[in-house]
Amino acid sequence: MTQVVIDKLVEDLKPIPALRSAHLWGVGALIIALTAIYVVSRFGVRPEYLAMMHLTFTVNEAVYGKPLLLLWAGLACLWGVARLYRPEGQLGGTVWAFMTAPVILLLLNIARQFAEMGVIESLSRVDDYASQCIITNFFGGLIAFGLLWALWLRKAAPARPAVFGAMAAVGVACLVAATYALRCDRDAPTYVLVWYVLPILAVGGVAGLMSRRMLRW
């Protein structure tokens, strides 16, 4: 009799497809593609990348280093998200090392800039294109988080929703910033810290507060 009652209660239920971490990477690729379309159509790309089409390469390592560092940080955060979307998930030492490495590299470059230029001169390099960078990196990061939420994140069941949501938001915001860096020609480490890293962290803070309430299960 009990089994009959159970069968009756569940007969109209539809199984929910299992959440797959592979879909997370697909959403990440979609975010990069959409951001690239927006940035190229609205702002174009910096001259050094146009010159690469004619096999002319710059010796300025920051031209390549800035977007690659942001891309690295974004992929590292999404790797962490892919490990934590279930309650039993753990990051592990390798993921932690991959996540902290771009932070250490940026801090080392800031220290080198301070040593070469001095603090005052270094801080004077942060006042160009500020509004454009904030709009793209902060609001673009929020939009990317909303897309990730709609397509993947809201189905997750992490043990620590606030940390999980913040990490996911920082990851996709870094992908947006890495793509926008193909347009931005301000490469000073202090500039990257103020107009890239701080807006990205702000996106993570907003997402963490949202996820704390909305990812409860």
Residues in the chain: 217
Q: Is the pLDDT of residue 11 over 60?
A: no
Q: What rounded mean pLDDT belongs to the chain? A: 88
* pTM: predicted TM-score of the whole model, two decimal places: 0.88
pLDDT attached to residue 10: 45
Look at residues 30, 34, 106, 101 and name the one whose alpha carbon lies nearest to residue 66: 106
**What is the pLDDT at residue 59?**
74
Q: What is the mean pLDDT of residues 145-159?
A: 93
| Residue 45 DSSP symbol | -
User: Mapped to the 3 state alphabet, what secondary structure does 171-207 carry?
Assistant: HHHHHHHHHHCCCCCCCCHHHHHHHHHHHHHHHHHHH
Residue entry with tokens 């929020």:
142
Q: Mapping DSSP to helix (H, G, I), strand (E, B) and coil, where does residue 15 land?
A: coil
214 vs 87: CA distance, rounded Å: 16
